Amino acid sequence: MPTQEPTGPAPTTEPSRTPEPSTTIPTPPTVPAIVSRADWGADESLVQNPPSYLNKVDAVFVHHTAGTNDYACADSPAIIRAILTYHVRTNGWNDIGYNFFVDKCGTVFEGRAGGVQRPVLGAHTYGFNSYSSGISLLGDYQSGGTPTAAAQQAIADLAAWKLGLHGVDPEAKVTLTAAADTGVWTKGQAATLSTISGHRDGYATLCPGTTLYSALPGIRTAAGSSPYTTGN
């Protein structure tokens, strides 16, 4: 059964901002296709509390689920349903931790509830949840898996779109204040990161795996030229 990678504590243990939800969000020219929670069969009875929101998405962190790579893409909804159950019943979180999922066929799925166009607070990158959105690729990219071209392009397009909603350049750098000790950064330290970063850039973990992490420079470049970037 797929599991949350073991290095992402719930954001309730992290000092974080508690801003009011954003009320006005610019809309880019195009929106990528995203499979809704209803369409992948989320058990909404597991979610007891309403979502929280950020002021702005300053960065996107890329993850892997660390589950099997030997899955049919038709099975992706079932895998995500299992992750939702694990995050709530085992981790004790209110909802699934990641804001979005991508599978190896390049299909994008809505993760944590609250609205795909809104800056929903997730549970994915301890110390930086209060500034960011999390995209997780189904599979294990530390133990030999290689992200497909379709998956890489989908991550690039999704990140470009999500950052573009907040006027953020997907090929830029951003400086964020670590909200907790993460094993990479200490609480209060100014962390300069790529606006599309890997989980390991913010937290002491192998995630998103060696091969997916190595693909991030190309994903940033693809995001910069994506039709889903507001500047294009």
pLDDT tens for each residue of 95-108: 999 999 999 999 99
Q: Which two tokens stand for residue 188?
A: 């209060």
Round to whole Å and give the CA distance between 26 and 167: 9
Residue 197, phi then psi, degrees to nearest 5: -120, 165
- Our count of domains for the chain comes to 1
Residue 224 has pLDDT above 90, yes or no: yes
Q: Is residue 74 part of a domain?
A: yes
Model confidence pLDDT, tens digit, residues 136-152: 999 999 988 999 999 99
Q: Is residue 10 part of a domain?
A: no
Q: What is the DSSP letter of 119?
A: -
> What whole-number percentage of the chain has pLDDT above 70?
87
Q: Is residue 86 part of a domain?
A: yes
- Least Cα distance to 4 among 74, 93, 78 occurs for 93
Model confidence pLDDT, tens digit, residues 55-97: 999 999 999 999 999 999 999 999 999 999 999 999 999 999 9
Residue 2 has pLDDT above 70, yes or no: no
Residues spanned by the domain of 154: 29-224
Chain CA centroid to CA 114, Å: 14
Residue 28 has pLDDT above 70, yes or no: no
Residue 216 has pLDDT above 70, yes or no: yes
Q: Is residue 17 part of a domain?
A: no
Return the pLDDT at 162: 97
Contact between 97 and 51 (Cβ < 8 Å):
no
Q: Is residue 18 part of a domain?
A: no
Q: Is residue 220 part of a domain?
A: yes
Round to whole Å and give the CA distance between 91 and 34: 26
Residue 23 has pLDDT above 90, yes or no: no
0.85 exceeded by the pTM? Answer: yes
Q: How confident is the model at residue 24 (pLDDT cuts 50, 70, 90)?
A: very low
Q: How confident is the model at residue 130 (pLDDT cuts 50, 70, 90)?
A: very high
Q: What CATH code is carried by the domain that includes residue 147?
A: 3.40.80.10
Q: Calculate mean pLDDT across residues 187-207.
A: 98
Q: How confident is the model at residue 4 (pLDDT cuts 50, 70, 90)?
A: very low
Q: Is residue 209 part of a domain?
A: yes
Q: Is residue 15 part of a domain?
A: no
Residue 231 has pLDDT above 80, yes or no: no
Residues contacting residue 98 through CB under 8 Å, at least 6 positions apart: 63, 83, 111, 112, 122, 124, 134, 135, 136
Q: Which two tokens stand for residue 225?
A: 């030229």
Give the CA dihedral 101, 125, 6, 145, nearest 10 degrees. Answer: 50
Q: How confident is the model at residue 15 (pLDDT cuts 50, 70, 90)?
A: very low
